[in-house]
Amino acid sequence: MNSHHDPGGRLVVRLEDVHKEYGAARALDGVSLAVHAGEAVAVMGPSGCGKSTLLNMIAGLDRPTRGTVEVDGQDLSTLNETGLALFRRRRIGMIFQFFNLIEDLPALDNAALAAQLAGTPARQARDRALELFEELGIAQRKDSYPAALSGGERQRVAVARALMNRPALLLADEPTGALDSRSGEQVMDLLIDLNQIGQTLLIVTHDPELAGRCAGRLVELADGRVAARQSLRLEGTS
């Protein structure tokens, strides 16, 4: 895969000696990480190694016990809850293993929601969502409710929602974990395409194939620490 990052370019994620403890349990133990603009990084490791905790720190969903988390130049420790929400709204897009779509809203409104929360008028938000749906190949499913969509379609809706506000960083938490292999392939291709047009990606996964196909760099966690870092050379890279 072509990871479209410029090694000397803008730093999108900077983690410096990040620790996270839940009581006596240590979820992260001095993790440092840098992700540059346009880069696609996969975070892998066994269950309980701290992958999701790491993702939560970067998304501003949780706060480190100590250490520095900077995303797109913003030190997250300086933000209160509202500031973190606005930060996520403007700079982060998230996709989840179980899609997390609102069942009461049709697909297009699910995606438009992210822009509407930011104050974009409904019509404009729907236009933007429809544009993304067309790019993602699900425009014909815009009026369907999540329950009527396949897993792959749901994840595409989730991706559209994540891209609504043109985020600096797209975080994906096991994005193919709940999909059959065919749908998983489609989502992988989608992530690759996004990265190729410059979208910075950070993917948390158990799946070596997903990491191998979508990411240019792999970070392995074990017991809350970075156990290994490696660049990936994948099929189709130039």
Partner 1 sequence: MSAARKPGLAGPVLAAVGPVWRAARGAVRRRRVQTVVLGIVVFCSTVTIVVALGLLESVSAPFERVFAAQRGAHVVAAYDAGKVSAAQLAGGARAAGVKAVAGPFAQAAVTIPDSFEHLPPGPLSVTGRAAPGGPVDRVDLWTGRWPARPGEIVLSRPPNSHFSFLLGVTFTVREGSTFTVVGLAGSVSRSGESWVTPEQAAALRPGILQMLYRLDGAATDAEVRRGTAAITAGLPAGALLGTQSYLTVKRDANRMASTYLPFLTGFGVLGLVVAVLIVANVVSGAVVAGFRHIGVLKALGFTPNQVVAVYLTMVLVPAMAGGALGTLAGGLAARPLLDDVGAGTFSVAVSPWVYAATLAGMPAVVMLAALVPALRARRVTAAVAISAAGASRSGRGRRVQRLLSGARLPRAVSLGLGLPFARPGRTALTLAAVVLGAATVTLATGLSTTMTAYGQAAQRVGYVHTIVQTGQARQRETPPRHDDAVIEALLRALPGAVHVTADAWIDLHLTGYPEPIMGRFLRGDSATLGETLVEGRWLSGPGEVVAPSAFLGKHGLAVGDRVSLSLGRGRAEATVVGVTMDGSADLIQADWQTLTALAPTQKATQYEVRLAPGTSVESYNAAVRAADPGLYPVAKSRTDETTVAVIGFASVLTLLLGTVSALGVLNTVVLDTRERRRDIGMLKSIGMTPRQVTVMMVTSMAALGVAGGLLGVPIGVAAHRLVVPAMADAAGVTLPAFMVDVWHLPMLTLLALAGVVIAVLGAYVPARSAARLTIATVLHNE
Enumerate binding residues for partner 1 (CB under 8 A).
52-53, 55-56, 59, 61-62, 81-82, 85-86, 88-90, 93-94, 96-98, 100-106, 109, 112-114, 116-119, 121-123, 126, 145, 147, 161-162, 165, 173
Q: Is 198 exposed, middle or buried (0-12, 13-18, 19+ CB in 10 A)?
A: exposed
Q: How far apart are alpha carbons 69 and 162 in whole angstroms?
A: 21
> Closest approach of Cβ 196 to partner 1, in Å?
24
> Closest approach of Cβ 13 to partner 1, in Å?
17
Nearer to partner 1, 7 or 119 (CB): 119
| Residue 8: how many other CB atoms lie within 10 Å | 6
> Closest approach of Cβ 51 to partner 1, in Å?
9
> Closest approach of Cβ 193 to partner 1, in Å?
22
Query: In DSSP terms, which residues pair with 13 in a beta bridge?
Result: 35, 71
> Closest approach of Cβ 112 to partner 1, in Å?
7
Nearer to partner 1, 38 or 167 (CB): 167
Q: On the CB side of 17, how many CA atoms lie within 13 Å of its CA? A: 2
Range list of β-strands (E), 37-156: 40-44, 66-71, 74-75, 92-95
Please check whether residue 112 is in contact with residue 190, taking contact to mean a CB–CB distance below 8 angstroms. no
Nearer to partner 1, 192 or 204 (CB): 204
- C-alpha distance across the termini of the chain, in Å: 8
